[in-house]
Amino acid sequence: MRGSAIFYGDSKLEFAEVKDTDRQNRVKYRYHYMDRDQHMIFRYDNARHYLALANFPPS
């Protein structure tokens, strides 16, 4: 599933979620929220690039 939502003031949330049907409980996701000039306000994902962080989501 992929999509975007544009809010009042032209900020935008883009998102994507992918379910791997070959592996039980395997989901990839990303959400990022940008202001009207496309500057990132926040990004939330479960990419495996910060595995050492205590709050990294389990796979």
pLDDT digits (tens, 9 = 90+) for 39-57: 999 998 887 776 677 776 6
Number of domains in the chain: 1
Task: Specify if 30 maps to a domain.
Answer: yes
- Rounded to an integer, the average pLDDT of 21-45 is 87
Task: Specify if 31 maps to a domain.
Answer: yes
* Residue 13 clears pLDDT 60, i.e. is over it: yes
Q: Mind giving me the DSSP string for 18-38? A: EE-TTSTT-EEEEEEEE-TT-
* Residue 16 clears pLDDT 90, i.e. is over it: yes
Band of residue 35 on the pLDDT scale cut at 50, 70, 90: very high
pTM comes to 0.67
Task: Specify if 34 maps to a domain.
Answer: yes
Q: For residue 24, how many other CB atoms are within 10 A of its CB?
A: 6
Task: Specify if 12 maps to a domain.
Answer: yes
Domain that holds residue 20: 2-45
Task: Specify if 54 maps to a domain.
Answer: no
The position carrying tokens 């989501």 is: 57
Q: Higher model confidence: residue 39 or residue 21? A: 39
The C-alpha atoms of residue 26 and residue 57 are separated, in whole angstroms, by 12
Task: Specify if 41 maps to a domain.
Answer: yes
